[in-house]
Amino acid sequence: MRRDVEARRRARPLEELQEAVSALPAIRPFTEAIGGEEISFVQRVKHVDGAVVPQSEHGEVAGLAGGIEIVTELAGQTRLSLLLTDMIVDGYQLYEARLAGAGGAVLIAAGFDEDGDELADLYALAGDLGLDVIVEVADEDEIERVLEELDPDSFLIRNRDPEGVLDLEHTYSLLEEVPAGKTVLSQGGVRERDQVEELERAGVDAVILGAWALAGDLPATLRTLRGDSR
């Protein structure tokens, strides 16, 4: 990842991105699209084809999530909020995200040294650029750490235990450590209405659906997950 970022930096210097970003109007933060009385759905996109945007908009998803190439392509096709999910290792990527049209970015707590300032620096930079930051956490220690260092407004919790096995109980145990009033997104393995209901009761605000949902009829899938029989 760092090697790729450096290659892009050589092709387009940071100063050029900074100048371009400074001329951009304010953008709607990603998490403003999440919330309400019912859980929201964010669609993860790995490949863009002609059906992605129409299905997503017709299904009334809260936003779309993907890597920088996906965000760049989608920004010209939809007004849905966009979330950058690439592993962020350098501030250059945050400038790229803002310029591409993202409204937010994920920072993965496990990717940063506990003794360093890199996570806090990137979090602050994202805020300066107007990007929402969603901090991904994997265990109680990471939650405690990021609350102490950053006190972020939004968290991403994957529904996997430390061995990578789907386990919603792992998610529920982590939710107990997240203070009330935070926005929480859940990702991984959610395909049934009863799972959505359990997550909603536990305090999850949005679910990130895998690319599998785009393989079929996304609006129909979303109706099922919402418990909408119409």
| Domains of the chain by residue range | 2-226
Note the pLDDT of residue 39.
95
Q: Write out the chain's pLDDT in tens, 230 residues.
A: 789 999 999 999 999 999 999 999 988 889 999 977 899 999 999 999 989 999 999 999 999 999 999 999 999 899 999 999 999 999 999 999 999 999 999 999 999 988 879 999 999 999 999 999 999 999 999 999 999 999 999 999 988 877 778 888 888 999 999 999 999 999 999 999 999 999 999 999 999 999 999 988 999 999 999 998 54
d(CA 2, CA 10): 12
- Spatial distance between the Cα atoms of 103 and 30, rounded to a whole number of angstroms: 5
Q: Are 84 and 97 in contact (CB under 8 A)?
A: yes
**pLDDT value at position 59?**
94
CATH number of 2-226: 3.40.50.300, 3.40.1390.10, 3.20.20.70, 3.30.2130.30?
A: 3.20.20.70
CA–CA dist 31, 46 (Å, integer)? 21
Nearest of 132, 128, 122 to residue 35 by alpha carbon: 132
Distance (Å, whole) CA 115 – CA 207: 31
The rounded Cα 191 to chain-centroid distance in angstroms is 18
**Distance from the first to the final alpha carbon of the chain:** 45
207/43 Cα distance (integer angstroms)? 8
pLDDT at 177: 96
What is the length of the chain? Answer: 230
pTM as predicted: 0.94
